């Protein structure tokens, strides 16, 4: 009797050891069972992962292109209009205020202003031998083109101030003056006349009171060619405003650009300038309009994305529910062997996380790759038609983080209900399930 009793005790001990082993299932075993179960019906799992990947891929594609186009538009707008520059113009002809020396000193005295430069656009004519053409002569102060972020190189900007009676002209203007090759015009002396009205004049120090009466004294030397990248047929010229004042008297500025010391103070500075009867503009206004437009676009994309991901979530929930029904007996066997509810729960929740994780990663890669492909094709057409190629694909870090968080909650929400149902199944009922 003692022998059989001892043998029975050993069997009980082995049974308890087996139960203990299964009731304290290692995480590696949980992961293995979850991975195996997910691919038990491979086609169904692949279709479910594919649905999640397509949903996240479409969202990634649209968001990447949306942010990329937004950044490209803002870059193009701010390229020649930095955000720390304020454009100043006259409000109206009824309250016309000149940008003369006194007005400029008042503007420079505003707290937060670092620099103010002026431009006066004057209608006129240029003469070269028998050729003559109408032209807009832009008379600028020394650093106006610096604030305007002009395409004119720094060397050419300085030439109209360092070389006496210098003028810059566009290639089209050089052609109209009779130069077949624009570079041939450099160094040539031409004659000009300008239409300066009384409302453009004010008292300016160090300027002769009498303007020259002989038009033929208005001679200037072409010191450079302006390559305007935005307009191939542009016809205009740049000249020093001091040169115009020596010829025509105290010509004032029609436009001004002011640089602020700190971008955060730009609104208060603009308000103070506008109190002096001027209108101010800033690229910040344009950027705000662009951002508002793309905010609406992103809101539409988010709604569209929510619809797509809701369909994907329902597909995942359906897959996990069917998987539970097919593995009810397996769950009963695991429970009969002593597996705890928490381990059953972990197996099913891991399967849900694995599906959402794989679908999310594939979707991100697919969406970003598709956006790059669209960018590449568009650049091929752009180069073919002479447009500069550019990149308009942008994936913000915040979007990637949002997708990762979404993937986590997608797996949690779609997996928690089947996992809870599986963990609550009674072993005997599961074993009897057909």
Structural domain includes residue 171: yes
Q: Which residues neighbour 69 within 8 Å (Cβ) at sequence distance 6 or greater?
A: 294, 392
The answer to whether the beta carbons of residues 400 and 364 sit under 8 Å apart is yes
Structural domain includes residue 183: yes
Q: Which residues neighbour 376 within 8 Å (Cβ) at sequence distance 6 or greater?
A: none
Asked if 73 and 134 sit in the same domain, the reply is no
Asked if 154 and 256 sit in the same domain, the reply is yes
Structural domain includes residue 302: yes
Domain boundary among 231, 251, 276: 276
Structural domain includes residue 15: no
Give the pLDDT of residue 22: 45
Asked if 231 and 366 sit in the same domain, the reply is no
Domain boundary among 276, 309, 342: 276
Structural domain includes residue 139: yes
Structural domain includes residue 8: no
Give the pLDDT of residue 101: 84
Asked if 126 and 187 sit in the same domain, the reply is yes
Give the pLDDT of residue 232: 62
- The sign one gets for the Cα dihedral 33, 34, 40, 42 is negative
Q: Reduced to 3 states, what is the DSSP secondary structure of residue 155?
A: helix
Structural domain includes residue 6: no
Asked if 61 and 119 sit in the same domain, the reply is no
Domain boundary among 249, 276, 303: 276
The answer to whether the beta carbons of residues 290 and 111 sit under 8 Å apart is no
Asked if 52 and 134 sit in the same domain, the reply is no
Q: Rounded to 10 degrees, what is the CA torsion of 88, 91, 95, 96?
A: 50
Asked if 252 and 317 sit in the same domain, the reply is no
Total domain count for the chain? Answer: 2
Q: Give CA separation, 145 vs 150, 174, 340, 362, in Å.
A: 5, 21, 76, 49
Asked if 410 and 365 sit in the same domain, the reply is yes
Asked if 183 and 109 sit in the same domain, the reply is yes
Asked if 262 and 293 sit in the same domain, the reply is no
Candidates 316, 347, 349, 321; CA nearest to 334 is: 347
Asked if 223 and 122 sit in the same domain, the reply is yes
259, β-bridge pairs: 85, 115
The answer to whether the beta carbons of residues 327 and 36 sit under 8 Å apart is no
Domain ranges, residue 315 = 21-77+289-432
Asked if 71 and 179 sit in the same domain, the reply is no
Give the pLDDT of residue 78: 74
Structural domain includes residue 351: yes
Helices of type H across 25-176: 27-38, 42-79, 101-108, 144-147, 154-162, 171-176
Candidates 421, 403, 427, 401; CA nearest to 349 is: 421
pLDDT under 70: residue ranges of the chain:
1-40, 80, 91-97, 202-217, 228-232, 323-332, 334-335, 425-434
The answer to whether the beta carbons of residues 425 and 331 sit under 8 Å apart is yes
């Amino acid at each position: 009797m003692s022998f059989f009793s001892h043998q029975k005790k050993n069997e009980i001990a082995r049974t308890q050891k087996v139960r203990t082993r299964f009731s304290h299932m290692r995480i590696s075993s949980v992961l293995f069972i979850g991975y195996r179960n997910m691919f038990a019906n491979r086609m169904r799992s692949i279709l479910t992962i594919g649905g999640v990947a397509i949903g996240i891929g479409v969202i990634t594609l649209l968001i990447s292109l949306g942010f990329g186009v937004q950044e490209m538009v803002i870059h193009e707008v701010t390229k020649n209009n930095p955000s720390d520059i304020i454009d100043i113009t006259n409000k109206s002809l009824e309250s016309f205020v000149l940008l003369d020396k006194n007005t400029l000193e008042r503007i420079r005295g505003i707290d937060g202003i670092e620099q103010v430069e002026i431009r006066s656009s004057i209608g006129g004519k240029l003469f070269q031998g028998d050729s003559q053409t109408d032209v807009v002569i832009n008379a600028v102060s020394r650093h106006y083109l610096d604030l305007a972020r002009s395409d004119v190189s720094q060397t050419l900007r300085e030439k109209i101030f360092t070389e006496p009676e210098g003028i810059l002209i566009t290639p089209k203007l050089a052609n109209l003056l009779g130069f077949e090759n624009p570079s041939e015009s450099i160094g040539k002396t031409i004659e000009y006349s300008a239409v300066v009205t009384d409302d453009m004049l004010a008292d300016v120090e160090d300027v002769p009171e009498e303007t020259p009466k002989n038009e033929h004294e208005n001679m200037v030397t072409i010191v450079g060619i302006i390559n305007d990248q935005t307009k191939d047929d542009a016809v205009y010229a740049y000249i020093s405003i001091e040169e115009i004042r020596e010829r025509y008297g105290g010509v004032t500025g029609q436009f001004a650009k002011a640089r602020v010391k700190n971008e955060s103070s730009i609104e208060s500075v603009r308000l103070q300038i506008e109190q002096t009867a001027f209108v101010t503009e800033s690229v910040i206004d344009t950027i705000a309009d662009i951002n508002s437009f793309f905010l609406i676009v992103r809101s539409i994309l988010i709604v569209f994305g929510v619809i797509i991901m809701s369909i994907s979530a329902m597909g995942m929930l359906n897959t996990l529910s069917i998987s539970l029904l097919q593995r009810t007996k397996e769950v009963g066997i695991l429970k009969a062997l002593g597996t705890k509810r928490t381990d059953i729960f972990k197996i099913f929740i891991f399967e849900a996380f694995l599906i959402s994780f794989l679908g999310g990663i594939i979707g991100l890669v697919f969406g970003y790759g598709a956006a790059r492909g669209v960018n590449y094709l568009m650049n091929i057409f752009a180069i073919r038609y002479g447009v500069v190629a550019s990149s308009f694909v942008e994936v913000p870090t915040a979007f990637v983080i949002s997708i990762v968080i979404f993937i986590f909650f997608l797996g949690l929400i779609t997996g928690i209900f089947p996992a809870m149902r599986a963990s609550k199944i009674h072993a005997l009922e599961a074993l009897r399930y057909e």
